[in-house]
């Protein structure tokens, strides 16, 4: 598939392409201490040894009962891993570490205000708090195995505590990113049929203690309107004993967790022995159609996969201090702040606020103070830190052995600053490419075994066998320079099991395109389609070009263009809306929103503002358009389809190409004058 053939106004189409860069080698010091230095791992995880190779990851965990079937394909493409196995994620992330690491820090919590002290939650304390909260969930909130509960929590230790308490009971958690709106939270409550919401009254962000409780009220009200009643809202107080939100508690529905907890003082809850293939959590993400979809992740397969990849890709040893600056509300945080590192008994950092508060040195001071030696973040944060304080890292005495980048393609120039300045030329870098759906890494170098290549994610990680297909389903070999749809040939234990309540959409969206035989029970017939475009180099390294579908990656956060368009359409004057990605130097991409008005209405700055605010209200601040362009009419094909490709070209100041076949070519010129 050439770039031109990638449909619509996709990210891949406007991707900034760079060439193949020379290798950069990790230091001998790094290699000497690495968890994985045996090149034989690639052979062990080759397709010949599939699926049994994944036993190596499952054996990192404690099982109540060992499984009898590694991979059950009888319900293809809903794969079941480690069937027959019984396991509990909370036990694996907490209880089993007590014998040797009781007094070790499990979670370093760094509040955003600099005058507040870092909280060091030991494994013992984590165990106590998880048990007491699990007892509360079971006995007060009446939650039981298989129930879904929605969490709308900020970056505080109470979030992993709540997740692990749910996991202990076999309750399925669904954490909604704290920055999302009450409306977005409501949609997820309804889809997952949650009757309990867990939230916090307030949290710090960029120097402000914002009212978060109000989002819970909006969420419950809107969910009820859509037919899902929330009967219990559990509200943690950011400062226990003190109300930090002016929003009143609703009698009979809302309860302060810290007022209930004394009733559960000393309570201990036996972890449920859960079937490995039962769901652990739902994580909603944006897709090609309007509604966000709940990716359902399993207990056994998921935990094995994130533990295994945390060990060999992130090189986490129990004595490491590991800081992933993502938000736990995204998959990166679930897999690589909470479940992976805690399964390995490491110390993981949870930072409440923004990385540049109060200045560009904050991240480096946190690293210095806590002795962080593995640092994990996204290109958007790296670009922002570089812009605000290119000389800052040199002022601090932290020392990283490994650094991670995730979420979007990283420009080689930004990569080199990360390596030379943040990593002080010493740290190895892994560029990890994956998705909410995949649970864990798909492509990355193994840091002690493969050289790094700036701007390239690297080969498939052990057990992941990527392939690039053209539009006809022919594999494009490496080294041709041709882009195509990157797919994975085989299932793996971290992959999501289905879309919650919508198996048909799961099959259609991820498998239908390249499936060789829809009746087949053989995994070889079901390549997984990621929705990204990529190029494979001659050495088997993959360069990711971005999304080929209607998804925009803003600061590493995934937003559906349809979601933003629907938000704009809630404004009564708006007749049509179209969103396109625009390249941005820090965020990677930003949404530009084009709207046309219903007859009788005229454009105004006030209306533009109101439309922008509607997007913030419906989704959250991260979705706010760069600019709202009110246009007389949308460029359309003769069949009436909005030509987003043309709008994207205008927004990105690129050539719009041949528009003479459109129904209304004259509006293109008009819009280009306005937005160009
Ligand atoms: O386009 C790819 C991009 O982020 C998308 C997945 O987004 P999400 O489900 O929110 O998960 C983000 C964290 C795993 C992918 O389809 N992406 C992710 N990592 C990279 C990337 N693009 C380039 N390089 C990466 N390392």
Ligand 1 centroid–CA 353 distance in Å is: 22
Give me the DSSP letters along 136-200.
HHHHTS---TT-EEEEE--SSTHHHHHHHHHHHHTPEEEEPPTTB-HHHHHHHHHHHT-SEEEEE
pLDDT score of 71: 98
Give me 489's structure tokens.
Answer: 């040939």
d(Cα 62, Cα 9) in Å, to the nearest integer? 47
Residue 558 Cβ inside 6 Å of ligand 1? The answer reads yes
148, 152, 132: which is closest to 140 by C-alpha?
132
Give me 373's structure tokens.
Answer: 């030696």
335 contacts: CB under 8 Å, gap ≥ 6: 302, 306, 439, 440, 494
Ligand 1 centroid–CA 339 distance in Å is: 19
Ligand 1 centroid–CA 617 distance in Å is: 25
Instruction: Judge contact between 449 and 39, C-beta under 8 A.
Output: yes
Q: Write the pLDDT tens digit of every residue in 446-490.
A: 999 999 999 999 999 999 999 999 989 999 999 998 889 999 999
Angle of helix 158-169 relative to helix 123-139, nearest 10 degrees, comes to: 60
Residue 553 Cβ inside 6 Å of ligand 1? The answer reads yes
Ligand 1 centroid–CA 24 distance in Å is: 23
194, 108, 208, 87: which is closest to 151 by C-alpha?
194
The burial of 304, by beta-carbon neighbours within 10 Å (0-12 exposed, 13-18 middle, 19 or more buried), is given as: buried
d(Cα 360, Cα 257) in Å, to the nearest integer? 35
Which atom of ligand 1 lies at the shortest distance from residue 546's CA? 1
Q: What angle (nearest 5°) sits at the alpha carbon of residue 133, between those of residues 132 and 139? A: 90
Residue 431 Cβ inside 6 Å of ligand 1? The answer reads yes
Ligand 1 centroid–CA 557 distance in Å is: 8
Using 70 as the pLDDT threshold, list the residues of the chain that sit under it: 1-10, 13-17, 288-290, 676
Instruction: Judge contact between 2 and 483, C-beta under 8 A.
Output: yes
Q: Write the pLDDT tens digit of every residue in 97-153.
A: 999 999 999 999 999 999 999 999 999 999 999 999 999 999 999 999 999 999 999
Residue of the CA atom closest to atom 21 of ligand 1: 408
C-alpha distances out from residue 137 to 164, 168, 297, Å: 11, 10, 21
d(Cα 415, Cα 328) in Å, to the nearest integer? 24
49 contacts: CB under 8 Å, gap ≥ 6: 43
**Would you say how long the chain is, in residues?**
676
């Amino acid at each position: 598939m050439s770039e031109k053939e990638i449909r619509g106004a996709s990210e891949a189409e406007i991707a900034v392409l760079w060439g193949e860069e020379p290798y950069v080698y990790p230091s001998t010091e790094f290699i000497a201490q690495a968890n994985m230095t045996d090149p034989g791992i690639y052979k062990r995880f080759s397709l010949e040894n599939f699926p049994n190779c994944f036993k190596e990851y499952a054996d990192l965990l404690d099982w109540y009962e060992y499984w009898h079937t590694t991979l059950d394909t009888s319900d293809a493409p809903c794969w079941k891993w480690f069937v027959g196995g019984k396991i509990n994620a909370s036990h694996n992330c907490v209880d089993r570490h007590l014998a040797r690491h009781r007094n070790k820090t499990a979670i370093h919590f760094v509040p955003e205000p600099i005058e507040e002290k870092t909280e060091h939650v030991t494994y013992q304390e984590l165990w106590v708090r998880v048990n007491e909260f699990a007892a509360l969930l079971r006995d007060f909130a009446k939650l039981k195995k298989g129930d879904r509960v929605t969490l709308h929590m900020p970056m505080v230790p109470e979030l992993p505590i709540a997740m692990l308490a749910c996991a202990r009971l076999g309750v399925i958690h669904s954490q909604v990113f704290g920055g999302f709106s009450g409306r977005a939270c409501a949609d997820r409550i309804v889809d997952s049929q949650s009757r309990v919401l867990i939230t916090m009254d307030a949290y710090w962000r960029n120097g402000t203690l914002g009212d978060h409780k109000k989002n819970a009220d909006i969420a419950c009200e809107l969910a009820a309107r859509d037919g899902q009643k929330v009967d219990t809202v559990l509200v943690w107080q950011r400062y226990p004993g003190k109300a930090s939100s002016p929003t009143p508690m609703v009698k009979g529905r809302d309860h302060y967790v810290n007022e209930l907890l004394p009733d559960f003082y000393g309570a201990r809850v036996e972890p449920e022995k859960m079937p490995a293939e039962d769901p652990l959590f739902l994580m909603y993400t944006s897709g090609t159609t309007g509604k966000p979809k709940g990716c359902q992740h399993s207990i056994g397969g998921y935990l094995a996969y994130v533990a295994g990849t945390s060990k060999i890709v992130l090189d986490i040893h129990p004595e490491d201090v590991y800081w992933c600056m993502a938000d736990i509300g995204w998959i990166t945080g679930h897999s690589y702040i909470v479940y992976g590192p805690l399964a390995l008994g490491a110390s993981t950092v949870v930072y409440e606020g923004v990385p540049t508060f109060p200045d560009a040195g904050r991240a480096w001071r946190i690293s210095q103070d806590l002795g962080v030696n593995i640092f994990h973040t996204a290109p958007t944060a790296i670009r922002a830190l570089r812009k605000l304080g290119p000389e800052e890292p040199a002022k601090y005495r932290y020392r990283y052995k490994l650094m991670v980048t995730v979420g979007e393609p990283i420009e080689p120039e930004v990569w080199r600053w990360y390596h030379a300045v943040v990593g002080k030329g010493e740290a190895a870098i892994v560029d990890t490419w994956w998705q909410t759906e995949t649970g864990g890494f798909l492509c990355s170098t193994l840091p002690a075994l493969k050289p790094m290549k700036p701007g390239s994610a690297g080969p498939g990680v052990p057990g992941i066998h990527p392939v690039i297909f053209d539009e006809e389903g022919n594999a494009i070999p490496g080294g041709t320079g041709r882009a195509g749809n990157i797919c994975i040939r085989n299932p793996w234990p971290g992959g999501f099991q289905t879309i919650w309540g919508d198996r048909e959409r799961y099959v259609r969206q991820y498998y239908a395109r390249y499936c060789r035989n829809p009746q087949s029970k053989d995994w070889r017939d079901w390549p997984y389609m990621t929705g990204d475009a990529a190029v494979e180099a001659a050495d088997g390294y993959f360069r990711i070009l971005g999304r080929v579908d209607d998804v925009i990656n803003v600061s590493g956060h995934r937003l559906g263009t349809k979601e933003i368009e629907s938000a704009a359409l809630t404004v009564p004057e708006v007749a049509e809306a179209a969103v396109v990605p625009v390249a941005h130097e820090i965020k990677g991409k930003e949404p530009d929103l084009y709207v046309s008005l219903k007859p009788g209405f005229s454009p105004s700055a006030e209306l533009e503002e109101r439309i922008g605010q509607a997007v913030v209200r419906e989704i959250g601040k991260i979705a706010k358009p760069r600019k709202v362009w009110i246009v007389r009419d949308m460029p359309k094909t003769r069949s009436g389809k909005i030509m987003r490709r043309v709008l994207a070209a205008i927004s990105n100041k690129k050539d719009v190409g041949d528009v003479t076949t459109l129904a209304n070519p004259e509006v293109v010129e008009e819009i280009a004058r306005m937005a160009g």
